[in-house]
Amino acid sequence: MSPEPEALRAAELRRQLHHHAHRYYVLDAPEIPDADYDRLFQELQALEAAHPGLLTPDSPTQRVGGRVLDGFTPVRHAVPMLSIRTETDTTAAGAEAFDARVRRELALPDDAPAVAYAAELKFDGLAINLRYEHGVLVLAATRGDGETGEDVTQNIRTIGQIPLRLHGTAPPVLEVRGEVYMRRDDFEHLNDAQRAKGEKTYINPRNTAAGAVRQLDPAITAQRPLSFFAYGLGELQGWPQPATHSATLDALAALGLPVCADRTVALGAAGLVAFHQAMGARRDVLPFDIDGVVYKVDSVALQQQLGFVTREPRWAVAHKYPAQEQTTTLRGIDIQVGRTGKLTPVAKLEPVFVGGTTVSNATLHNVFELRRKGVRVGDQVIVRRAGDVIPEVVGRVPGTRPAYVPNFRMPRACPVCGSTVLREKGGIDHRCSGGLFCGAQRKQALLHFAGRRAMDVEGLGDKIVDQLVDGGLIRTLPELYTLGVAKLAALERMGEKSAVNLVAALQQSKQTTLARFLYALGIRHVGETTAKDLAKHFGALDRIMDASVEQLLQVNDVGPVVAHSLRTFFDQAHNREVVEQLRAAGITWPEHDGSVAALGPQPLVGKTLVLTGTLPTLAREDAKALVEAAGGKVAGSVSKKTSYVIAGAEAGSKLDKARELGVPVLDEDGLRALLRGDGAGQDTGAGAAQAG
Ligand code: IVH
């Protein structure tokens, strides 16, 4: 009996979805757009709904949903999940001690060659055992006490990186062990979203990942961005394990499991020390938290020879790094005033060594978050510094408050300029209403204006800005351009030479672009991308300053908040005055007639053109700019995807190729017709004649 066509189609859809999920989640190299994936997914969902008999446990549709549980079922591990000994000496000595111990246990003579170790990262998450039977994920369990864990299969299925079916020929039983974790950027986004909703923020990625895996409602787990790395094995039946741990990880990757690329085979103590140092130096730029590295004797035969002491293997060790979280005393709470006037409560801490540096200030974000965390002066608080994220107070140690301490209150007057502090109705942030009257805002505005992505004034750092503002030398942005060498050279830490350089840098910054200038003004909600979009759309500053909210809303990605903010900014006479003074100081940029190039129709959207030979009047760069302004792309070589070849005198092989592929060939007049939006698709043949 042959299978029904629906069954064949469902199997084919599952195969394709597994393939694309691996490309997307594990290799980070999707082959099809998300929308195509969604279409395949929905087709399978519909098939399964119509024919429930077609549903299989490895179906990608099983990644979402599932029912809410009353509790987790205990699972006895076929092979106990052990832990590893931790080397707390974070210096090279920690690695040397491990290598010495391994050599001693193996009774290696001093002149025996170096032992080969698999060196990998120690991921900071939650250990999970994945059981695959005949290639299908049938059970996922937490470590628990090592003997018995909990069945969290429903939740683990929601993690896109974890294959529901292994690639290639699969053995009867293969248990894979690894760590479920949360990337730092995913964690930050999650907390940003919590803040925006006015809800409690999570303390760190590890606790958040662990909490998500142990959620009784899998729909909640599905909303948490979790990731996974495989690092070991459990029970095996019918799987010929490679002879080394490093080759085992390669084999797991080939089966479609995510395996971290930051690993190596290290030789002897020197190799381990080098790995520990190299990863320590990269720790802050890794996209996820690690609390150390793990060394494992690479040879499986030697691992067996070494065996275990109680619950720990003799052949592995975790070598730690300094902690990224520490407890310290909150001495006080200061208020910092930012560029847009936002008041940020900053924790003044008993200095503490965390994440590789001494931290004495940490952000508390805003007064609501401060209240939610319940921290008060005198408390023992947890400070976190991970990666390049600014240090923050994530919570307090309960039961450490010495005596009654009043709750923190935001000041009613700006601590810098005394202006009234306001909070938008329903908003989270308190702001100083002083604007550029406020020294703190003036300083930040100057630093922003001079920043690398704005006017790019090299050498104007915060020490100089502090002096310029505090000394009353500068009250407005345009006054920056009135500074002379003599005034600057008189500042602290400023020699004659630096002063000359700074004046030159200011001079140089005057030649800029409209997008940079617009961004430099520091208009609320106008970031770099928005500034570029506005510049492209309008082409000239005056058109932006005079645009109505409706006209602003026409711009790519400009919504009501941005449009309103721009209008408010340019409606204020003093802001227009600042712009005029900056122009008078000599700041210029090229403008274009937004009405033709950018606002006009874009007849070449979706078209790719190739230019070849010399056109009668248009230089190559100008032709390219015109094509791009009309929404088209210019490519360097001719292919089937080329829409037109524009050929001038002495066109060569590109013209031959165009004829071979049947791509239309146009001359300069033909190009002009395309740019006007008429004559599209007409091969004038003129280009060919000219080139001949
Ligand atoms: S191997 C028998 N490798 O660290 C060896 N563990 O006590 C079993 N961990 O909670 C563990 N990264 O979840 C191993 N690359 C790695 C690891 C790793 C993180 C965790 C593991 C366990 C603890 C080890």
Q: Which residues pair with 362 in a beta bridge?
A: 347
pTM of the predicted protein model: 0.65
pLDDT of res. 687: 38
DSSP letter, residue 383: E
Q: 184-196 and 205-213 are packed helices; what angle lies between their axes, rounded to 10 degrees?
A: 80
Buried b / exposed e along 295-311 (16+ C-beta atoms within 10 A): bbbbbbebbeebeeeee
- Enter the tokens of residue 186: 């995913």
pLDDT of res. 4: 86
What does the CA dihedral 151, 153, 158, 162 come to, rounded to 10 degrees? 110
Q: 573-584 and 560-571 are packed helices; what angle lies between their axes, rounded to 10 degrees?
A: 70
pLDDT of res. 691: 33
Is the pLDDT assigned to residue 692 strictly greater than 60?
Answer: no
The residue whose CA has the least distance to atom 10 of ligand 1 is 127
Mean pLDDT of the region 361-372: 90
Which fold, 514-597?
Answer: DNA polymerase; domain 1 (1.10.150)
Is the pLDDT assigned to residue 364 strictly greater than 60?
Answer: yes
Of the candidates 422, 481, 471, 407, the one whose C-alpha atom is nearest the C-alpha of residue 449 is: 481
Mean pLDDT of the region 540-555: 94
The percent of residues above 90 in pLDDT, for the chain, comes to: 64
Per-domain boundaries in the chain: 3-62, 86-320, 324-399+411-450, 514-597, 601-691
434-447 pLDDT tens trace: 887 899 999 999 99
Residue 231 phi/psi, 5-degree rounding, is -140, 5
Mean pLDDT of the region 58-77: 84
User: CB of 356 closer than 6 A to ligand 1?
Assistant: no
Ligand 1 centroid from CA 83, angstroms: 6
The residue whose CA has the least distance to atom 18 of ligand 1 is 122
Mean pLDDT of the region 348-352: 95
226-278 pLDDT tens trace: 999 999 999 999 999 999 999 999 999 999 999 999 999 999 999 999 999 99
Mutate which of 182, 249, 294 for ligand 1 pocket (most atoms within 8 A of beta carbon) = 294
Q: Ranked by mean pLDDT, which of 36-45, 246-255, 601-610 comes out on top?
A: 246-255
pLDDT of res. 680: 47
Catalytic residue positions? 122
Q: 567 or 631: whose pLDDT is higher?
A: 567
pLDDT of res. 65: 59
264-314 pLDDT tens trace: 999 999 999 999 999 998 988 899 999 899 999 999 999 999 999 888 999
User: CB of 123 closer than 6 A to ligand 1?
Assistant: yes
Q: Ranked by mean pLDDT, which of 130-139, 334-343, 354-363 comes out on top?
A: 130-139
CATH code at 324-399+411-450: 2.40.50.140
Ligand 1 atom at shortest distance from the alpha carbon of 143: 10
Is the pLDDT assigned to residue 428 strictly greater than 90?
Answer: no
Measure the CA–CA gap between 621 and 618, rounded to whole angstroms.
8
Is the pLDDT assigned to residue 161 strictly greater than 80?
Answer: yes
Query: CA 26 → CA 170, 171, 388, 511, distances in Å?
Result: 19, 22, 25, 45
Q: 681 or 478: whose pLDDT is higher?
A: 478
Residue 577 phi/psi, 5-degree rounding, is -65, -45
- Would you place residue 494 in the very low, low, confident or very high pLDDT band (cuts 50, 70, 90)? confident
**Of all helices (H) and strands (E), which one includes residue 227?**
strand 227-237
Mean pLDDT of the region 596-625: 80
Which fold, 601-691?
Answer: Rossmann fold (3.40.50)
User: CB of 294 closer than 6 A to ligand 1?
Assistant: yes
Ligand 1 atom at shortest distance from the alpha carbon of 82: 2
pLDDT of res. 67: 75
User: Whole-number mean pLDDT of the chain?
Assistant: 90
Is the pLDDT assigned to residue 470 strictly greater than 60?
Answer: yes
- Would you place residue 556 in the very low, low, confident or very high pLDDT band (cuts 50, 70, 90)? confident
Is the pLDDT assigned to residue 571 strictly greater than 60?
Answer: yes
pLDDT of res. 317: 97
pLDDT of res. 35: 85
Which fold, 86-320?
Answer: D-amino Acid Aminotransferase; Chain A, domain 1 (3.30.470)
Is the pLDDT assigned to residue 9 strictly greater than 60?
Answer: yes
Is the pLDDT assigned to residue 681 strictly greater than 50?
Answer: no
- The domain covering 3-62 belongs, at the CATH homologous superfamily level, to Helix hairpin bin (1.10.287.610)
